[in-house]
Chains A and B, each alone.
Chain A
Amino acid sequence: GAVVSQHPSRVICKSGTSVKIECRSLDFQATTMFWYRQFPKQSLMLMATSNEGSKATYEQGVEKDKFLINHASLTLSTLTVTSAHPEDSSFYICSAVGGPETVGSPLHFGNGTRLTVT
């Protein structure tokens, strides 16, 4: 089945630094990838939609200059949290679509990245 890999699984960084999170589709070409953020005991909130070769589309309230998304290939999207602050500490999850199933098939999710900003 379709597999999405996320790296790193955990990262701790100091306030003011930047952190890059990678999302890879391992056995299919992902035309679209999605980035979600999940705070403890809450649901997943979509941050942005990333299409290969074009600019990401951000959800309302998400700062595009703070959360930089790059989808340079059909198997890799990256999310960079710039000038991170403690309030950015969260669980970041990516998902990808474009697998072997037909269009509209369920999204496949990575296992998330736990970001802690100290």
Chain B
Amino acid sequence: GESVGLHLPTLSVQEGDNSIINCAYSNSASDYFIWYKQESGKGPQFIIDIRSNMDKRQGQRVTVLLNKTVKHLSLQIAATQPGDSAVYFCAERGAAGNKLTFGGGTRVLVKP
């Protein structure tokens, strides 16, 4: 079945540095991708999304890149702050419906 996976389970980054979180997906029919941030004991919080007809989208301090050729998604966080410490999930949606498939998650630890 479809799956979405991550390369790095934990990312430790110095405060102020940029963070890059990677995600691989296997369903070439996926048309929509989302990055979520989850803090301990809370539900996922939307960060940024991108549709399959785009390869880059920018938000506030975050950029999502989509490479459909290799089925790879990344989230870049600029000037990482202590409040960015959390687990980050990528999610992909197939061509039909709103059902999301989540990746395994990457924990980001920001060192002061």
Contacts and interface: CB of A to CB of B under 8 A. Distances in A.
Interface in A63-118: 93, 95, 97, 104, 106-112, 114
28 contacts: A32-B98, A34-B100, A43-B89, A43-B103, A43-B104, A43-B105, A44-B44, A44-B102, A46-B99, A46-B100, A49-B99, A93-B43, A93-B44, A95-B44, A104-B32, A104-B93, A104-B98, A106-B34, A106-B49, A107-B34, A107-B100, A109-B36, A109-B43, A109-B44, A109-B45, A111-B42, A112-B42, A114-B41
A42 B106 CA distance: 10
A25 interface: no
Interface string B68-112: 000000000000000000000100010001111111110000000
A114 B43 CA distance: 11
Interface residues of A, number: 22
Interface size class of B (residues with CB under 8 A): 20 to 34
A109 B105 CA distance: 16
Q: Is the interface of A mostly helix, strand, loop or mixed?
A: strand
Interface string B45-66: 1100100000000000000000
Contacts of A111: 41-43
B79 to A, nearest CB: 24
A100 to B, nearest CB: 14
Nearest to A45: B102
A77 to B, nearest CB: 14
A34 to B, nearest CB: 7
By Cβ-Cβ distance, the 3 closest A-B pairs, closest first, are A109-B43, A106-B46, A43-B102
Nearest to B46: A106
Nearest to B32: A104
A112 B100 contact: no
Contacts of B99: 34, 46, 49
A93 B42 CA distance: 9
